[in-house]
Structure 1
Amino acid sequence: MLGGRELTLETGRLAKLVSGSVTLRYGDTMLLVTAQAREDLSTLDFLPLTVEFEERHYAVGRIPGSFPRREGRPGEKAILSARITDRQIRPLFPKGYRQETQVIITVLSADGQNAADVLGPVGASAALSISDIPWAGPTACVRVGLLNGEYVVNPTTDQLAESDLDLVVAGTRDAILMVEAGAKGASEDVLVGAIEFAHREMQGLITLIETMRAELGHEKFTFIAPSDLSVDVVPELTEAARAGGLKDALLTPGKKERGARLKALRDGLIAARVDPAAEDAAAQTAHYKAAFNKVEKTELRRLILDEDLRADGRNTRTVRPIWIEARALPRAHGSAIFTRGETQVLGVATLGTERDAILIDDLSAEKEDKFLLHYNFPPYSTGEVKRVGGQSRREIGHGNLAKRAIRAVLPSFEAFPYTIRLVGEVLESNGSSSMATVCAGTLALMDAGVPITAPVAGVAMGLVMEDGRYRILTDILGLEDALGDMDFKVCGTAEGITALQMDIKIGGITPAIMREALAQARDGRLHILGKMAEVLAAPRAQLAPTAPRILSLKINPELIGKVIGPGGKQIRELEAMGASVNIDEDGTVRIFSADGAAGEAVRARIEALTRTAAVGEEFDGTVVKTTPFGAFINLFAGQDGMLHISQMSEERIQTVEDAMNVGDRLRVKIAGIDDRGKIDLIRPELEGKIAPREPRAPREGGDRGRPRR
């Protein structure tokens, strides 16, 4: 039982030809998870692991909405779900493992309440554990919500909608491997408590998988790690590199300059040891390059642990220099450049209408999202040349983290009725570009005049751990990310955390280390927020001149048809005035226009079309028709009232024309409205001077009447 609901794992019935196959059921959500490895050793110099999360629309009884009516490329949610599994299982493959390995998670049934994204990692852990693939699991994964101050494991979709926290935690029996969260300004203590709660709750899942492996698991195959001859020369090369200025080269501030000095040192050491005329010169050169990489990593980690010195000369708690420019683009609705060290992001905010919202077509209920954040990582940002086209999974993951961080401070759509698109263009990258996107995006929103509740900043934390010793690093460089043991991104306001993401490259870390990392991250976040406040302390009071305006008004829902008109004729005429009009079923009308005057004109026209009269109101009306018993007076567009002949003059008159004619203007007051919406008028200046006419009975439930048709 998990969260009061039964979770079952089954094997041996489906997909029996694969190395590891598990069917998982939780409520009416069912997944088939498979794990398979190639027999041949890959020639790649990294772990060739792929994780696929396959959503099938039949799982929710729907036909896909695409043109061919079949599932296509994975959507954003499927990619993010695959990344959760990948980040959990990847650290536990053996060092040097190079067999191509694939984990496929297929959603067979989705009940709409038990999310599949945290069940996929559990199924993957079970499939790998019972397979013949070498893997140091099992692991488990759970979600934690916070309802009424209480932690809830694997909250349902309905519960999650009310939760102040959405935390996903993966771990082993003894340690935490991966954390991802969105929160509404949670404190560090609340988050650590939630992580500890998650670790306790996942122990039952780990026991279940261990039992399954003991009873049904296959014997693991033996793999041969690629030979690493470079190890033999590391001691000698380390001594020579240190003598040649390795420490000074590593502490060079600039990325390019540091890379150039390290390359020059490496090439000099190799030139002294390899005869270019030798037959195996290329092999020897590669041999020494691999050895030098190990020397570089070892020395950098030693400097951090022993001397509190990092690759650019900072200590472990210092944030790189920051400079910021707001309103960097002349035509954008909001823009800002955020630069931290050699990481630079251009944040751009664009405001649109409700029609610009994106339709989410996955296994969840169909819905619209009125907040979009796109993270772009072009190759020039790292000084490289690569193919350009389409978003990578990394870009989607980083963009989602920034989106979760900023969404927590956005105003409601009712308060600020715009669809908001943020784009983070990474212009330079030397670590923490996703966190720079959070900062640049927040500044762009404030520059656009979006009334966010508080500024948000992000900082990436690192870790170096050896032999029981460790140091936590604030605002890590790309080199420190590659050579370190942790990438822990923390985003939040001055009051609390709005998003975090942690990936571990070692066997896991303890809650105590995480607590320390969060406290150090808070110091870094507050420093960055202070720098942001020096440029923009709060959202601008007015929207940018280039930003469109949205005007809102409320009309009687019964009058929506009048605004639309026969066949949409009326609304087309309104939009021809220079604005788009959106009408909700409850009578809320939103007018979107790049020209403020055009928007105001459309609003005035709609108000005139939908205006209703009330007893006691006075108007300067125009006589539009006379009859023997009175005159019809036009009060406003589409609404007339009748002034009886007895109410026209203190003196008795024989005909209406004795007092007024068609086209005359006069002041009138509404005396009554009957059940059919017909209006009786009087002349205010004669009120009390002549006998009142018997008023028509007012409509039950109020004095407002329908407009005459």
Structure 2
Amino acid sequence: MFDIKTQEIELGGKTLKLETGRVARQADGAVLATLGETVVLCAVTAAKSVKPGQDFFPLTVHYQEKFSAAGRIPGGFFKRERGATEKETLTSRLIDRPIRPLFPEGFYNEVLVIAQVLSYDGENEPDILAMIAASAALTISGVPFMGPIGAARVGYKDGDYILNPTQTEIAEGDLDLVVAGTPNAVMMVESEANELSEDVMLGAVMFAHAASKKICDAIIKLAEKAAKDPWELDLLEDSGETKAKLKGVIGADLEAAYKLTNKQERQTAINAAREKARNAFADLAESDPAAYLGTLKLVKKLEADVVRTAIIKEGRRIDGRDTKTVRPIEAMVGFLPRAHGSALFTRGETQAICTTTLGTKDAEQMIDGLDGLSYSRFMLHYNFPPYSVGEVGRFGAPGRREVGHGKLAWRALHPMLPSAEEFPYTIRVLSDITESNGSSSMATVCGGSLSMMDAGVPLKRPVAGIAMGLILEGKDFAVISDILGDEDHLGDMDFKVAGTSEGITSLQMDIKVAGITEEIMKVALAQAKDGRAHILGEMSKALGETRTELSAHAPRIETMQIAKDKIREVIGTGGKVIREIVATTGAKVDIDDEGLIKISSSDLSQIEAARNWITGIVAEPEVGTVYTGKVASIVDFGAFVTFMPGKDGLVHVSEIKNERVEKVADVLTEGQEVKVKLLEVDPRGKVRLSMRLVDQETGAELEDTRPPREQRDDRGPRGDRGDRGPRRDRGDRGDRGPRRDRDDRGPRGEGRGDRGDRGPRRERSDNRNDDNGPAPEFAPAFLNRDDD
């Protein structure tokens, strides 16, 4: 029933298997790609005809991660996969960028590529597998595709390149680089690096390209077994005669237009030339619409000829610069008064307003993906409104291009961020492009770096970015620095390099030809290094190093470490204690499983109050230490004082003042703040405090000036009571039985006589049966014993 064809190769120590003929057989091409236990299905379909009047190539790529692939159920209310996540959008672009240039010019049939992750083992990333599956599906589909391409991911650790690294190896290493290429040349590069040199980066690209060649060979072998018949194309061929005629009509106009250095003036002149061409061939639009459409397409070729010839032959660019000069740069920080950090970065006619906002841990971005829930403390969002290029267009949620440009800037800045221990803030950088004629993503890198430094984020080093271009004519080529928008559209390469004075942090390349060589990349990297150094120098004029103080409007975060066995006490039952701390002090308090506490507020007094509260909870009382507390309750013999959160002690009536206190309530009231010294913690945990040994105004300790106990009144010494010996040796007391059974005395107050007002116990000494005669009649029997 199934006509299954497979092809296997070894990739990074594992087996890569490509299979077709079992699944999605009604698609023009469908391939199951398996690496380890990660499986991706890619299906390709193409329209058999072109819509009337269509003059562009409608290629759409969708990459989707099924949560079932990792044995998970999606979060949220609907519990199903919905709109594309950031990772899905970025991977869709990763597939699109290297395959788009490989469709023949003039092919305008709609093509749809859908890649779905069906199984994920947590080790082998599905994005590379999706790129390979898409290439294989296109190659066997019969659709005109000048592939195949191969793709590989490379890591770098301890001086060695790692093919197909695991996530752990990427995290521990210094590089995460993805390369796609044909058997002959590199087509696309995407990377994040930890300040690596140009030579190391170039070596990584070539290492990845060598692996991608093997993948291309495997796809070709699969196509030999399973490819469908190629489509017959009826492409409109360029007419030399028509092009010559068109050049005679508008050639001089285009040359004059591209000598205008102002973008708006240049664009107006170009539009006028295009309108002139439409009018000159208006008759053809009625007699042969296809030919008319083809003629108008030649206008762009004439524009490219004008720009490319001037660069290759004369070394002159559209705005009059040479190939290496960077446009004038103006940077300023503190541009917005209320933002935590802000910068306005302008390079020629490209401008970005970048702001940095600092937040607490609860502001981290939660990401729900195949690996489960994860959190990101650094976010970078990029916006590209239509007015930045003087156009009217859609303004709303970010599109794929905005997501991709923002991620490129994120990769460039991310390696230079301080660790969470060094700087425990959540960081969000927002880039709003207000003008664009050239690389706005690299302007975002520069402006984002300055805005974070303005906010007080201690970056390891400032980061700058530059976009490089390429004009390739046969064996002749020219690499150009800081490309304009028109040079991007009419050139052959968009090569973006970001980094510090020490090395590269991000590298991205897209090309429009069938690939570039190692020689061209080497020249581009060296030229980009010089341009990056120049931009860093201009940025330093605005702000040379990170500010040491945070903005007055930014939250302050302080950390403290407590023992793990104290976490429960800080949180309290059901979170009662920590909620009370937050509600009372106004500060935010976060605590992790290791006992690390982060206290945040824009008011330092709130942070201090929360810190003191927590310190009081976890601290152990120390004898001899003075504390500030509040009277919790008053009793006849003293007052109980809360001197630490959750800890009370007794101030005995004799320890309130040096002089005699008749009634505690006359001196203290509940809720009154007092200063106490901890005298003793007995084995049962009871705490004895003293107020009299502390100056209640200053909190300073006082000397104990009270005389010894026997000198406090005129009672004199207690006297010699005789050698009574141990109580158990005082004589045979007989078997008296339990106290309640000793006699029939009855209740104490009945039948035993009136005891009268005996006064305080310490004044009763004359009633003792020592040398003072017989005991009173109401005395208990044991006082009349002649034990001695």
Query: What corresponds to 2:413 in structure 1?
Result: 406
Contact map agreement 2:469 2:483 (CA 8 A) in 1: yes
Work out the CA distance in 2 between the residues paired with 1:637 and 1:131: 73
Does the Cα contact within 8 Å between 2:552 and 2:602 map onto a contact in 1? no
1:190 matched residue in structure 2: 200
The aligned counterpart of 2:432 is 425
One-letter code aligned to 2:23: L
Is the CA contact 2:676–2:689 (under 8 Å) kept in the aligned structure 1? no
Q: Judging changes above 3 Å, is the alpha-carbon distance between structure 1 residues 636 and 46 closer, same or farther for their aligned structure 2 residues? A: same
Q: 1:554 aligns with which of 561, 571, 575?
A: 561
**Which residue in the other structure is 2:777 paired with?**
none
SS at match of 1:366: strand
Q: Match of 1:412, SS?
A: coil
Q: Give CA-to-partner distance per residue, 1:95-141, whole Å, 9 cap, x none.
A: 21111111111100001110001111111111111221111112110
Return the offset for 1:363. Answer: 1.2
Residue 498 of structure 2 contacts residue 505 of structure 2 at CA under 8 Å; is this kept in 1?
yes
Q: Does residue 254 of structure 1 match 2:255?
A: no
Which amino acid in the other structure matches residue 17 of structure 1?
Answer: Q
1:7 correspondence with 2:23? no
Q: Determine helix, strand or coil for the equivalent of 2:126.
A: coil
Structure 1 equivalent of residue 754 of structure 2:
none
Residue 247 of structure 2: aligned partner: 238
Structure 1 match to 2:179? 169
Q: 1:234/1:677 Cα in 2 relative to 1: closer, same or farther (>3 Å)?
A: farther
1:361 positional shift: 0.9
8 A contact 2:631–2:640 mirrored in 1:
yes
**Equivalents in 2 of 1:394, 1:268: separation in Å?**
32
- Separation (CA, whole Å) in 2 of partners of 1:52 and 1:435: 26
Equivalent residue letter for 1:57: F
Deviation string for 1:51-79 (max 9, x for gaps)? 11111110011111121111101111011
Q: CA deviation at 1:665?
A: 7.3
CA RMSD of aligned residues (A): 3.4
Deviation at 1:268, TM superposition (A): 5.7
Write the deviation string for residues 564-583 of structure 1: whole angstroms up to 9, x where unpaired: 44444443333333222222
> Partners in 2 of 1:86 and 1:596 — Cα distance?
51
Distance 1:278 1:681 in 2: 102
Partner of 2:317 in structure 1? 310
Q: Which residue of 2 aligns with 1:533?
A: 540
* Aligned amino acid, residue 232 of structure 1: E
Check conservation: 1:182, 1:498, Cα contact below 8 A: yes
Match of 2:110, SS state, is: strand
Note the C-alpha offset of 1:634.
5.8
Q: For 1:319 and 1:380, locate their aligned partners in 2 and report how far apart those are by CA, in whole Å.
A: 24
| Structure 1 counterpart of 2:14, one-letter code | R
- In percent, how many aligned pairs have the same letter? 46
- CA distance in 2 between counterparts of 1:78 and 1:395 reads 14
Shift of 1:422: 0.9
TM-score normalised according to structure 2 size: 0.80
Q: Name the CA distance, whole Å, in 2 between partners of 1:637 and 1:567.
A: 18
1:140-539 to 2 correspondences below 5 Å:
140-226=150-236, 228=238, 231-238=240-247, 241=250, 244=252, 246-265=254-273, 273=280, 289-539=296-546
Deviations, residues 35-94 of structure 1 (Å, cap 9, x unaligned): 121111244322211111111110011111121111101111011111111112111111
What one-letter code is carried by the residue in structure 1 that aligns with 2:619?
R
Aligned match of 2:594 = 586
CA contact (8 A) 1:621 1:668 kept: no
1:11 positional shift? 1.1
Name the SS of the counterpart of 1:95 in structure 2. Answer: coil
Q: Which amino acid aligns with 1:204?
A: K
Give, as a single letter, the amino acid of the residue that structure 2 aligns with 1:2: L
1-structure distance, mates of 2:284, 2:232: 39
**What's 1:86 paired with?**
96
**What does 1:560-599 correspond to in 2, within 5 Å?**
560-576=567-583, 577-599=585-607
Per the normalisation by structure 1, the TM-score is 0.88
Task: Report what 1:69 is aligned to.
Answer: 79
Distance in 1 of aligned mates of 2:287 and 2:217: 52
Distance 1:34 1:358 in 2: 33
Residue number in structure 1 paired with 2:62 = 52
Which residue number in structure 2 is paired with residue 32 of structure 1?
41
Shift of the 634–330 alpha-carbon distance from structure 1 to 2, 3 Å rule, reads closer
Are the aligned partners of 1:322 and 1:338 in contact in 2 as well (CA < 8 Å)?
Answer: yes
Q: What's the counterpart of residue 602 of structure 1? A: 610
Q: How far apart in 2 are the matches of 1:562 and 1:275? A: 84
Q: Mapping of 1:103-114 within 5 angstroms?
A: 103-114=113-124
Aligned residue in 2 for 1:695:
none
For structure 1, the 5+ residue unaligned runs are 649-654, 691-709
- Distance in 2 (CA, whole Å) between partners of 1:125 and 1:530 is 43
- 3-state secondary structure, aligned to 2:370: coil
**Contact residue 626 and residue 675 of structure 2 kept, 8 A:** no
Give the paired residue count.
682
Shift of 1:611: 2.7
Q: Residues 435-485 of structure 1: CA distance to partner in whole angstroms, max 9, x if unpaired? A: 111111111111111111111111111000011100001011110110000
The residue aligned with 1:702 is: none
Determine if contact 2:678/2:687 at 8 Å carries over to the other structure: no
Using the TM superposition, give the Cα deviation of residue 640 of structure 1 relative to its aligned residue in structure 2, in angstroms: 4.5
Q: Which amino acid aligns with 1:46?
A: F
Match of 2:737 in 1: none
Change (3 A) 1:515 1:278: closer
Determine which of 16, 38, 45 is the counterpart of 2:25.
16
C-alpha contact 1:49 1:100 (8 A) present in aligned 2: yes
**Displacement, 1:562?**
3.6
How far apart in 1 are the matches of 2:525 and 2:682? 67
Report the Cα distance in structure 1 between the residues aligned to 2:449 and 2:630, rounded to whole angstroms.
54
SS at match of 2:501: coil
- Report if aligned partners of 1:627, 1:656 keep a CA contact under 8 Å in 2: no
CA shift, 1:621, in A, is 8.0
Alpha-carbon distance in structure 2 between the residues aligned to 1:633 and 1:355: 36
| Local SS of the residue matching 1:134 | coil
Q: Secondary structure at the match of 2:47?
A: strand
**Cα shift at 1:282:** 9.7
Aligned-partner SS, 1:41: coil
Q: How many angstroms apart in 2 are the aligned matches of 1:519 and 1:181?
A: 17
Q: Which moved more, 1:579-588 or 1:101-110?
A: 579-588
Write the deviation string for residues 264-294 of structure 1: whole angstroms up to 9, x where unpaired: 45556776x5689997799998676444332
Q: Is the 8 A contact 2:55 2:293 kept in 1?
A: no
> Which structure has the larger Rg over C-alpha atoms?
2
| Shift in Å, 1:208 | 1.2
User: 1:587 Cα deviation (Å)?
Assistant: 2.2
CA distance in 1, matches of 2:20, 2:290: 47
Query: Contact between 1:630 and 1:656, CA under 8 Å: does it hold in 2?
Result: no
Matches within 5 A, 1:90-105: 90-105=100-115
Q: Return closer, same or farther for 1:292/1:135 CA change in 2, 3 Å cut-off.
A: closer
What secondary structure sits across from 1:99 in the alignment?
Answer: coil
The superposition leaves residues 571-605 of structure 1 with CA deviations (integer Å, 9 ceiling, x where unpaired) of 33333332222222222222222333333333333
Separation in structure 1 between the aligned mates of residue 228 and residue 106 of structure 2, nearest angstrom = 21
Amino acid across the alignment from 1:66: G
